[in-house]
C-alpha cells in the first residue's frame, strides 16, 4: 500500500512538472491570445495585471 502511494505522489509530481514546462514552452503570451492582435499595449498590461501574470512565481 505504501509503495502505491509513493508511486502516486511521484507520478502526480512528474505530470505537474511536465504540464508546467509545456505551458512555458508554448509560444506567445496568453494575454495577446485572449485579447487578440489589435489590443493596445495598455490593454495588454492591464489584462496581465488582472490575471496576476506580472507577479513573480515565488
Query: 10 lies in which domain range?
Result: 2-51
Q: Is residue 56 part of a domain?
A: no
Q: Is residue 27 part of a domain?
A: yes
Q: Is residue 11 part of a domain?
A: yes
Tally the C-alpha atoms within 13 A of residue 45's C-alpha that lie toward its C-beta: 3
Rounded CA separation 53/47 (Å): 9
Q: What is the pLDDT of residue 3?
A: 93
Q: Is residue 33 part of a domain?
A: yes
Decide: 5 and 22 in contact? Cβ < 8 Å: no
Q: Which residue has the higher pLDDT, 28 or 51?
A: 51
Instruction: Supply the pTM of this predicted model.
Output: 0.53
Q: Is residue 57 part of a domain?
A: no
pLDDT at residue 58 tops 80: no
Q: Is residue 10 part of a domain?
A: yes
Domain count for the chain, please give it.
Answer: 1
Amino acid at each position: 500500500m505504501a509503495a502505491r502511494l509513493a508511486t502516486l505522489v511521484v507520478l502526480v509530481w512528474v505530470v505537474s512538472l511536465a504540464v508546467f514546462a509545456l505551458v512555458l514552452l508554448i509560444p506567445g503570451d496568453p494575454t495577446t491570445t485572449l485579447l487578440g492582435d489589435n489590443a493596445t499595449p495598455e490593454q495588454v498590461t492591464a489584462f496581465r495585471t488582472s490575471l496576476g501574470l506580472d507577479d513573480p512565481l515565488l
